[in-house]
Amino acid sequence: MVSGFSATSVLSASERNDLTNNTIAAKLLCTQGVRIMVDSNPAPGGSLNPSDTDKQGVAPSSSASATWLEAGLAVLNPEGNIVSVNDSLALWFEATPGELSGQSLSKLLGQRDPAWAADFRDFLAHSAAFDRLELPGSDNSPGKRLSAEICRQGAVQFVRLQSVLPPARELEELFPEPHWGRLAVHQAFQRVIRAEAQLENLSHHWPGIIFSQRPDFSFAFVSPKIEELTGISAQEWRRNSSHFWEVVHDADADPLMARLRNGIRSPADMTGTFRIRHVQTGRVTYLWEHRQPVRSSNGLLLGYEGIWLDITRQTIAERRLLNMSWKENLGTLTIGLAHDFCNIMTGIIALSETYEASLEENSSLREGLGMIRTTAMQAGQLSMRLRQLHQGSPGEKNYHDLNEIVATLVDVLQKVLPRRVRIQTQLEKNQLPIYVDAFELRQVIVNLAMNAVDAMPGGGNLVFRTAFYQEPPDAPTVQGALPKVPTVCLSVSDTGMGIPQRMLNSIFDPFFTTKPLGKGSGLGLYNTRLFAEKHGAAISVESKERVGTTFHLWFRASNFTEAEADDAVPAVRPARHTLLALGPEGAILNQTTARLRENGFYVVPTSSETEAIEILNSPAFQFGGLLLICTSDFREPASLCERLLGEKTPLKTFCLLGCNEDELNPDFLRKMDAVIPLQDSSADLVSRLKVTLEKA
């Protein structure tokens, strides 16, 4: 039944009884503009008469009033007792408005369903000025789902109650298709079912978030995935308008508010990015937002429809590219400055030695020149240390002694870190060989050291330890996989503020930081985690608030065979085969193309022999094989095959047989490099193709 089409439905006795007991069906009929009438010979016991129909065309039977509630309104005092109700709500409670006056609405709802009383009482106690709650009830029968909306004005509370349909799957189970097939709204019902099921599937599985937001920033609808990003359930988002600004990042709140204010005055859609924080873990997520204002006919803003997409990974990639570019330029400048500085120190050392040798041993100037020479030598050594930090380049693995790398860095850190931080080393006596990218390891150690300094604003101890373990370590809060024993460990400890236990599982997430706004990017520990994963290592953390934090980097002790294992890995991946697939237009060609692409083939599909010849002669492709799909309706493309074979093309030819072999020309089949039944599994098809294509 098309919406807005008026018709008269004459129901039989059995259909009339079904309809009398099915209020939902009657409601849907009314929304489609159908006036319900009965035949002239009502069956005994029938309660629906033309004279009983109300202005909408549905008889107000006791069964209907007891099951379905539409637009029930109540005014409550601050204690939640009824001041007044409308006729719809009174009829639903099977009482008069006067009888309901002064009674507790929570208790009355509890009489209808015990599961409603406590939920509604809590709703009244904690709801916002405008709020909404859905009461599912103790079962899923029709009418046992209720929505409650509240609006407060001073000490007065206005409440609207109405029944809501159950979800699509439950509704379809309650009212199977044969029942609805007898009603004029069958097609409309099926459309609603399909639309709701599609929306539900999209909201659960689509990577973004779909939302419908009210002007007060509460949500009329929002995808369940929002709980994963914010820590707040979709139901809470629909109830409370304050959650939106609670999760928006402090630095982005004002620009976002300004954009929304400008959008109120502009009819155009709004697009932008901002950050949100998970309320429990503090994890930061970057969102791209498209927001479309919804307005009334006179321009009043009714809300927004929009989507959010998580672009955190994209943002990370952009930041890392910018950092790498800056670090590359900074490294070039640092090496050049260190080289020039070293040359200057060399001149000072030479002059001081010359003048010192020309003076008498007991001269006061001789002692001063000696101090100048010693200081200049120390400065030259520091310059050399700075240049060593830039030795090698990212991606170059080699064998290194962990003790030597740590000792070299400590010499530099002692010169540049604040004096309030006391650096200590506790290094293993023996060498600790590891196979790593030393360039990246130095960056990781420096980052851990700088984090430790920030955690000790009043000063403290920064300790570097190295150790060798023959037994598997007991390491809590591990990122990555602990390497096999024997294991080498680097520990970086501080006596700072510590990290709360609830945050320990989140500190390695991108953009997570406990530092004040603008003091940290939140990528340091994330990059450390990536370094550990790349090297088959692991990183763990131990922390106690107001005591300190220790990070452990776990490496497998080198057995000096790692480089050979890296060399054994093929430098170039095996080439992917490119096929031209010619077959009947439709499902068979599409499914075959999808099967091959899933298994690593490049496939160009076509249903036209002329187009196939043009593609084969195109310089844009380098085909290794031609796949001909033959069916009863699409037999051998003989002309194409003869032309190809006549030109002595190096292409391998395959026939994917989707019909009886007797239907095809035997000469055509003999020219094929392989004939494969269409019913073969994907594994068999892929195996046959690869063996033939790779055969010399």
Q: Measure the CA–CA gap between 606 and 597, rounded to whole angstroms.
A: 15
Contact 134, 145 (CB under 8 A): yes
DSSP H helices in 154-240: 168-174, 177-181, 186-205, 226-230, 234-239
Beta strands in 183-283 (DSSP E): 209-213, 219-222, 270-277
Report the 3 state secondary structure along 280-294.
CCCCEEEEEEEEEEE
Cis peptide bond upstream of 486, omega within 30: yes
Beta strands in 61-179 (DSSP E): 72-76, 82-85, 130-135, 146-153, 156-163
Q: Which has the closest alpha carbon to 157: 127, 181, 177, 116?
A: 127
3-class DSSP assignment, residue 139 = coil
Tens digits of residue pLDDT in 133-182: 888 776 655 457 788 888 888 888 999 998 877 665 565 565 555 554 44
Residue 641 pLDDT: 65
How sure is the predictor about 548, in pLDDT bands with cuts at 50, 70 and 90?
very high
Residues 6+ apart with CB under 8 A from 433: 399, 400, 401, 402, 488, 557, 558, 560
Contact 34, 44 (CB under 8 A): no
How sure is the predictor about 575, in pLDDT bands with cuts at 50, 70 and 90?
low
Beta strands in 217-277 (DSSP E): 219-222, 270-277
How sure is the predictor about 54, in pLDDT bands with cuts at 50, 70 and 90?
very low
Pairing verdict, β 82-85 and 72-76 = antiparallel
Query: Across residues 590-600, what is the average pLDDT?
Result: 85
Rg of the Cα trace of the chain?
38
Contact 247, 226 (CB under 8 A): no
Please report, for residues 74, 148, 328, 601, the alpha-carbon distance to residue 120 in angstroms, rounded to integers and kept in the order given. 14, 8, 62, 59
Q: Measure the CA–CA gap between 114 and 109, rounded to whole angstroms.
A: 8
User: Which pTM was predicted?
Assistant: 0.41
Residue identified by tokens 């952009």 is: 318
User: Length of the chain in residues, anyone?
Assistant: 696
Tens digits of residue pLDDT in 81-135: 999 999 889 998 889 999 999 999 999 998 888 888 888 988 888 887 778 888 8
